[in-house]
Amino acid sequence: MHISDGILSSAVLLGGAGVAAAGVAIGLKKTDHENIPHVAVLSAAFFVASLIHVPVGPASAHLVLNGLMGLILGWAVFPAVAVGLLLQVILLGAGGVTVLGVNTAVMAVPGVLCRLLFVRLLREPSPRKSFAAGFAAGAFGIAAGGILTAALLVTAGSSFHNTAIVLLAAHVPVLIVEGLVTGSTVMFLQQVRPGLFGGDERKETVDVSA
């Protein structure tokens, strides 16, 4: 879902940077010291998962893990994604500096939505519900991110309309794979770390929606 430099308008770039900056600020404010290792590990996992990608015009299709990150981190998915993307820009030249905010928002916003939509399914220690919640989060994260990326490409002009369509089609198999990977991971984590996805439901709801 990386978009390269030189494609989007200045207004879109500034809007994406604003969303990313606000999300990172909220994420950092909500991150306790004991949760920093979770942010670091998932940011590293995001970095590695994004290394294997298939170029699709000015963007690319690859595993993102934003659904899993969102379920575990909530708003902290913003700084985790931002750090991973920044390292990819510096070390690998993936994406670009000017689109860092846009790419962060495209991947992190669906992650926060996954937390809001699916974490309640993890309140009961049921393997079936755990897998279902994980699959739904993984699939939704890819689908929402793909739709946002395609919409941004459409704003770049008619020459990118076909690319946007191809990008959406290319993410259909990724959606399924990401759902299976996230579902299996969540089911495993629920067995070994049942408190990883939050304890008190009322507290979690306030923390996420604030």
Q: 139 CB contacts (<8 Å, ≥6 apart)?
A: 67, 175, 176, 178, 179, 182
Specify whether the CB–CB gap between 111 and 66 falls below 8 A. yes
Closest C-alpha among 186, 188, 149 to residue 171: 149
Compute the distance between CA of residue 156 and CA of residue 148 in angstroms, rounded to an integer: 13
Give pLDDT, residue 178: 92
Could you tell me the two tokens for 171? 């993410």
Write out pLDDT tens, residues 6-52. 889 999 999 999 999 999 999 999 988 888 998 999 999 888 887 76
Give pLDDT, residue 104: 96
Give pLDDT, residue 202: 37
Amino acid at 54: V
Residues (pLDDT < 70) of the chain are 1, 52-61, 198-210
Write out pLDDT tens, residues 2-18. 788 888 999 999 999 99
Backbone angles phi, psi at 60, to 5 degrees: -150, 155
Specify whether the CB–CB gap between 162 and 151 falls below 8 A. no
Which domains occur in the chain, in start order?
Answer: 10-209 (1.10.1760.20)
Chain centroid to Cα 48, Å, comes to: 14
pTM listed for this prediction = 0.85
Enumerate the H helices of the chain as residue ranges: 10-30, 36-49, 66-73, 77-92, 100-118, 127-155, 161-192, 201-209
